Every structure is written in C-alpha cells, then in structure tokens.
Amino acid sequence: MAHLLMVESWVGSMSRLLPRAIREGGHDFTFITRDLHHYLRAAPEGTAHPLLAARNVLTADTNEAGTLLPLVERAHGALRFDGVVTSCDYYLPAAARIAGRLGLPGPSPAAVENACRKDATRRVLADAGVPGPRFAVCADWAATVGAAREIGYPLVLKPVDLCAGMFVRRVDDEAALAEAHRALAGFPVNARGQRRGPAVLLEELLRGPEVSVETVSSGGTAQVVGVTDKSIGGAPAFIETGHMFPAALDAADCLAAERTAVEALNALGLDGVVAHTEIKLTAAGPRVVEVNPRPAGNRITELVRHVTGIDLAAACVDVALGREPDLRRRDTGLRSAAIGFLLPESEGVLDAIDGADDVRTADGLLELQLADPGKAVRAAASNNEYLGHVMASDAAGLGARDRVEKLLSALLPKVVGR
C-alpha cells in the first residue's frame, strides 16, 4: 500500500475519480487544503465528500510556497508520502515542487510551470518549432491594441493563467477587444485566492475541428491513449458543449494530431504525467491550442474508460508513484461514448428540467446528471455554468454523439426570473 499526498482538488468529477482510483489501487492519501469548506459545500446534501476518505486532512496555505514546502517536509517526516497528486490546474506546479523537494517521482517543476502558463507554453513551443497560432503576450492595453492590429482580426483574447475557458473570447474588432480586456482586468484574483498575472495573450483565430489527445508519459516516453473530439459553442466565448471518444477522424488526421501532441509534450519536457493536449485541425495542419499536464476534465476520462477499459485516473496515480501504468486495452463491448452538456438559455432560478424521466430509460444511457431546482442560473460564459450532462454509448460504431444530442434535445430547463 502506498501513501499519496493530494494537494487540493477540483470539486467536479476528478474530486471523486482520483480518490476512487487511489482506493481501488490499494492505496490511501492525505489531503492538504487551505479551505476544506470549499469541498464540503460541493458535496450533495446528506453525503460525505470522497475527499474526506483521506487518512489525514491537513490545513495549510497551499498558495504560499515559502511556508507550504517546509510544512509538507515536516509532514513527510511523520507520515511518509510515496507520491504527490492533484487534479486542480492551479496546484499542479505546487505538487511538482513538493515532489521534487521530497525526492519523490514527478514531472519537472519547470516543465509543469511552463505548461500551466499559456504564455510560457506558446514561447516554448514556438522556439521548438511546434505548430501553433501567431500570438503576442501583452503587458497593457496599449500593447494589446498594437498586437491585435499586427495579428489581425478576428483573434482570440486569453488570460495566461485561468482554466475552464474563463474569459477566453473571440474578438472581431477593437470595440470587442476593449470589452474582453476590461472584463479580464476586473478579475484579478482566481477562485482559489491566487493573484493573477496581468499579461494578456492574443492569438490568431484558428479554424477547423478541435480535438484533444489523451496521453500518459512515463520513463521518458509518451503513450497515446486516443483522440477525443469536441464541440464548442457560446460564441464569443469558447464553451465545451460535448465530447466523443474516439474522435470521428480519418486515420491521417488522427495520426497528425497524435504526433503534434507528442511533439508538444517533448518540447515542454513533460514526463511522469497524464496529459490532455488540445489541437485544432486547420487547413494548414494541426495546431496546438494548449497542453494540460493532468487528466482531461469534463468526464472525458470516463468516456475513455467506457470504450477502452483504460482508467486514466488510475494511470495518474501510477505515474505519481513512479510505476508503469496499465494501458492495455480491453473489449468493453462499446465502440464509442459521448457526453453532452446542458447549457442555460436564460437567466434566473432553475424551476425544473422537463424530460428527464424519458431520458433515464433511453437505450445506451451511461450517465444523467442534472442540477437541482433552486439553482441560480446565469448566461453561460465558460465551462462552469452547465446545468447537467448526458453520457451515452454506441456498441456498433461512432453513433454515441448523435445519441447524446438526441437525448439532450429532450431535456427542457424551466428557468424563472428572479
């Protein structure tokens, strides 16, 4: 039995999948957090959050490396950790630094830092010749305006250090650029109390289908598990509205996406990670959107598991312990699995979601999760405003996405004004 240190977590599905993978692997973990109530509030009423299955729960300022590292070192002396994990992007660098400080397996802290900062990722990949969009990193409004004129509209404005598509906007002219720039400037501290970097990233707008490449890197080799396709909506925001695994691509496009993702991982020097690399398949070839040195969110890991039998959460635990993950494919009886997200179309308070009873009895349904009545609803601006999701499978081929879209269309949220 191994003992892992988990440094914070997302409150979504990975906050359940990662503890499950640790437990099913025969291990246990200590959870360290700056605010336990952040997670307790996320648990359904009357249930215990899976993070509370930890052997120990430690409270510390996980945002302050100067005090966190010595504290964890002392805890290691008493509790003896064998690996360090997190599912939360905002703490991936801290987890890598802790592993390095304790002499435990883990990726290079510098590589993780570069992957978690979108501006640094762009610079590293450009220097290595890995294809991506034309871009500029802008320190202030004047630099932003000048760079936008040089790149040319339409383009994409991004924060360099946020997740879930927050404040990522398509801008078609200077007025839209100013609006997006003001909105981002009005969000100086992220949801975990960390002060954001002031820089803004501008990128050429890439056109073409978007996919993600799921990989596991260990022992200096990146193994491709598969390619997931995705649908995007909510313009001018970029909201992920659904995914299917495997992607409905021809063999040449699939191979090109896989090769580009591996090139990006190698350029960044990422090893000892499960990664989720987003790629645009443009007319000029694949272009890297971003590299995430952690398992995919939005339950993509579950799509992979349903189709291949490969558990990417378990692989994350294995590489954190310096062990070879089990990436053998198994016949699950399914050929594709897809997920679709229910987005709000109006603002107010959720009264009900009609049609759920029929969806629950549909053929091929894997999951149905819906928000409870009484939830405050606002216009979707990122991946944080879903009202629920539908996951379904197809045993015969690549029909899972069509099945999910049909089921989603049967769900009718009723939102009343405040």
For residues 364 and 374, give the distance between their C-alpha atoms in angstroms, rounded to a whole number.
29
Domain 108-114+208-332 indexed as CATH 3.40.30.10: no
Virtual CA dihedral for 14, 19, 23, 25, nearest 10 degrees? 50
Q: What percent of the chain has pLDDT over 90?
A: 87
Domain limits of the chain?
3-104, 108-114+208-332, 133-204, 338-418
pLDDT digits (tens, 9 = 90+) for 98-116: 999 999 999 999 999 999 9
- pLDDT at residue 202 tops 70: yes
3-state secondary structure 39-83: HHCCCCCCCCCHHHHCCEEEECCCCCHHHHHHHHHHHHHHHCCCE
| Mean pLDDT to the nearest integer, 396-410 | 97
pLDDT at 22: 97
- pLDDT at residue 418 tops 70: no
pLDDT digits (tens, 9 = 90+) for 270-317: 999 999 999 999 999 999 999 999 999 999 999 999 999 999 999 999
Q: How confident is residue 45, by pLDDT bands cut at 50, 70 and 90? A: low
* Angle separating helix axes 300-308 and 14-24, nearest 10 degrees: 40
Architecture of domain 338-418: Alpha-Beta Complex (3.90)
Q: How confident is residue 46, by pLDDT bands cut at 50, 70 and 90? A: low
CATH topology of domain 3-104: Rossmann fold (3.40.50)
Cβ neighbours of residue 65 under 8 Å, at least 6 residues apart? Answer: 94, 97
pLDDT digits (tens, 9 = 90+) for 321-380: 999 999 999 999 999 999 999 998 888 999 999 999 999 999 999 999 999 898 888 887
Q: Superfamily assignment of 133-204 in CATH?
A: ATP-grasp fold, A domain (3.30.1490.20)
| Mean pLDDT to the nearest integer, 36-62 | 85
Question: Which amino acid does the sequence have at 194?
Answer: Q
Residue 400 CB: number of other CB atoms within 10 A?
31
| Mean pLDDT to the nearest integer, 125-130 | 98
pLDDT digits (tens, 9 = 90+) for 130-166: 999 999 999 999 999 999 999 999 999 999 999 989 9
Give the pair of three-digit tokens for residue 337: 């699995």
Give the pair of three-digit tokens for residue 254: 């699939």
Q: Considering the entire predicted model, what is its pTM?
A: 0.95
